[in-house]
């Protein structure tokens, strides 16, 4: 992630002494009763939302989302909508997809916090759409636009509906969701956007990429350890690779956010503020502790000179919660778990991939000293009380801003105050965004260098035939949702 800074900034020492306050902030966010906007479940309300958003959405999103969504509603009609909603009473399939796309359309451009959220997602997505970031790698399989965003279903935590999940509606952009309370608190949950957008939303960019990564992990671990452990990691490739891609896009702050988020959600959901060592066989997410080991190992592979210090700090946090590690019913020693995580990180960051014309993920995306210097400058600005508009100039991106806020909070800043300042900074960045400021372009990354990115957009499924209602859809991909008995029977599970 080559980025030009505008002036040197002294990097403060690595400091996670205020991480307990960050954990408490996430726990308070998860426990907040804010359910957000109600689902638009009547045909009249859905049509009204589409019509009201027409003047707020830029031309790119009117073409890619608004018009095809309106056409899907026309095909459904009132009776078809009622049947669709009745077929998915738990709102985890086709009904969830339709209602979440509708909510994203309705919220777009209607609130400063939504604008800030949109800027982070657009930044994380733009670069791998731009011709400059695709040098040496074939063009995208499908030319999709950055996802829209919503403050959505709080029980699901951060999640994404990637392009293949929404393709049955004919729309050409996914949806990324945060809980509604994150507009006011839960700063470290914003770091999960690297996992969601730079991870899940782009892993299907190239046909066979996920499968190739899974096979590479299975082969590497199979040579170095037990076959069951190779299978454990490779079977969870979507979540594993998304963790790594989030760190490649947002640096060590993504790893800090991961630790704070898991502890905070554990505190809110009754299992305590700790990283779990238990990873049930049915859970598609690796256990918290081994995800922390993976995060530290990935940070060690960054090109920043501070990588060892950050990795050691993250390892220390994992050790703080250390206990038995049981993965899919098999106990594993901490040393072996760390070795396996380091090997997984090595493969995901450095292995050349046929799907990427022989390039590795880490060759396309990385985090360097220039990024750390920008984060240091933005951190000082966020900790201060001055105007932030001047910080949103060329060479500074939303991923830098989120990283700066997270490391500032971990070092002693008040998370809620920093989140408020972060939203102001992101809002200033959003107002300068070419697409959202009115310029009709397909990929704003072709107009300006936006290096906070990874790969390319995901290929869509074939569209539903004309006259047919939207078919079954995959539910959301969630980074922080962790299934298992410790979460309680009423807790929605990830997938």
Helix (H, G, I), strand (E, B) or coil at 192: helix
Residue 176's pLDDT is 94
**Any domain includes 239:** yes
* More confident: 142 or 153: 153
Write out the H or E segment, with its range, that includes residue 161.
Answer: strand 159-161
Residue-wise pLDDT for 388-427, tens only, equals 988 988 889 999 999 999 999 999 999 999 999 999 999 9
Per the CB < 8 A criterion, the answer to whether 149 and 177 are in contact is yes
Report the mean per-residue pLDDT for the chain.
Answer: 85
Residues 6+ apart with CB under 8 A from 435: 58, 60, 61, 122, 441, 444
**Any domain includes 12:** no
Residue 3's pLDDT is 43
Of 5-9, 57-61, 233-237, give the lowest mean pLDDT range: 5-9
Residue 24's pLDDT is 98
Check pLDDT > 60 for residue 229: yes
Residue 13: count of CB within 10 angstroms of its CB? 7
Helix (H, G, I), strand (E, B) or coil at 264: helix
**Any domain includes 492:** no
Backbone angles phi, psi at 81, to 5 degrees: -60, -45
**Any domain includes 10:** no
**Any domain includes 188:** yes
Check pLDDT > 90 for residue 5: no
**Any domain includes 61:** yes
Residue 207's pLDDT is 75
Residue-wise pLDDT for 235-253, tens only, equals 999 999 999 999 999 999 9
**Any domain includes 413:** yes
Check pLDDT > 90 for residue 197: no
Check pLDDT > 80 for residue 255: yes
Helix (H, G, I), strand (E, B) or coil at 115: helix
The model's pTM is 0.88
Residue 440's pLDDT is 66
DSSP string, 287-345: PHHHHHHHHHHHHTTSSSTTHHHHHHHHHHHHHHT---EEETTEEE-HHHHHHHHHHHH
Instruction: Annotate 393-416 with three-state secondary structure.
Output: CCCCCHHHHHHHHHHHHHCCCCHH
Of 126-135, 187-196, 267-276, 464-473, give the lowest mean pLDDT range: 464-473
Residue 471's pLDDT is 38
Range of the domain at 53: 19-487
Check pLDDT > 90 for residue 364: no
Pairing of strands 175-178, 159-161: antiparallel
**Any domain includes 494:** no
- In the chain, the number of structural domains is 1
């Amino acid at each position: 992630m080559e980025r030009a800074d505008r002036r040197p900034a002294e990097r403060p020492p690595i400091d996670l002494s205020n991480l307990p306050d960050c954990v408490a902030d996430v726990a308070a966010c998860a426990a907040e009763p804010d359910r957000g906007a109600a689902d638009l479940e009547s045909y009249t309300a859905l049509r009204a939302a589409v019509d009201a958003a027409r003047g707020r959405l830029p031309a790119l999103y009117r073409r890619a989302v608004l018009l095809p969504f309106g056409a899907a509603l026309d095909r459904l009609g009132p009776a078809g909508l009622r049947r669709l909603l009745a077929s998915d009473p738990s709102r985890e399939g086709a009904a969830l997809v339709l209602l979440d796309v509708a909510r994203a359309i309705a919220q777009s451009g209607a609130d400063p916090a939504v604008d800030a959220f949109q800027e982070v997602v657009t930044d994380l997505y733009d670069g791998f759409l731009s011709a400059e970031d695709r040098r040496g790698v074939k063009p995208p399989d499908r030319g999709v636009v950055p996802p829209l965003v919503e403050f959505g279903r709080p029980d699901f935590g951060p999640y994404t509906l990637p392009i293949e999940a929404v393709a049955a509606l004919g729309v050409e952009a996914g949806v990324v969701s945060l809980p509604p309370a994150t507009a006011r608190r839960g700063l470290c949950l914003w770091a999960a956007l690297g996992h969601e957008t730079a991870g899940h939303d782009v892993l299907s960019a190239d046909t066979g990429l996920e499968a190739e990564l899974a096979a590479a992990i299975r082969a590497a671990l199979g040579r170095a350890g037990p076959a069951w452990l190779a299978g454990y990691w490779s079977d969870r490739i979507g979540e594993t690779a998304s963790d790594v891609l989030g760190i490649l896009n947002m640096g060590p702050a993504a790893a800090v956010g991961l630790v704070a988020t898991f502890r905070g959600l554990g505190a809110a959901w009754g299992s305590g503020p700790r990283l779990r060592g238990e990873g049930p066989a049915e859970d598609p997410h690796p256990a918290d502790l081994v995800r922390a080991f993976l995060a530290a190992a990935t940070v060690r592979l960054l090109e920043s000179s501070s990588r060892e210090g950050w990795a050691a700090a993250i390892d220390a946090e994992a050790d703080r919660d250390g206990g038995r590690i049981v993965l899919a019913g098999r106990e594993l020693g901490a040393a072996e778990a760390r070795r396996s995580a380091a090997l997984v990180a090595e493969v995901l960051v450095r292995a050349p991939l046929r799907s990427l014309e022989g390039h590795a993920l880490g060759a396309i995306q990385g985090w360097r000293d220039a990024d750390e210097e920008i984060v240091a400058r933005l951190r000082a600005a966020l900790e201060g009380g001055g105007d932030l508009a001047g910080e949103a100039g060329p060479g500074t991106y939303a991923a830098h801003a989120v990283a700066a806020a997270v490391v500032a909070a971990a070092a002693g800043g008040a998370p809620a105050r920093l989140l408020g300042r972060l939203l102001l900074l992101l809002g200033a960045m959003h107002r300068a965004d070419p697409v959202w400021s009115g310029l009709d372009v397909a990929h704003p990354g072709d107009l300006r260098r936006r290096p906070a990115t990874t790969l390319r957009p995901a290929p869509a499924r074939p569209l539903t035939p004309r006259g047919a209602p939207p078919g079954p859809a995959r539910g959301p991909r969630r980074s922080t949702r962790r299934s298992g008995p410790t979460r309680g029977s009423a807790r929605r599970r990830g997938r």
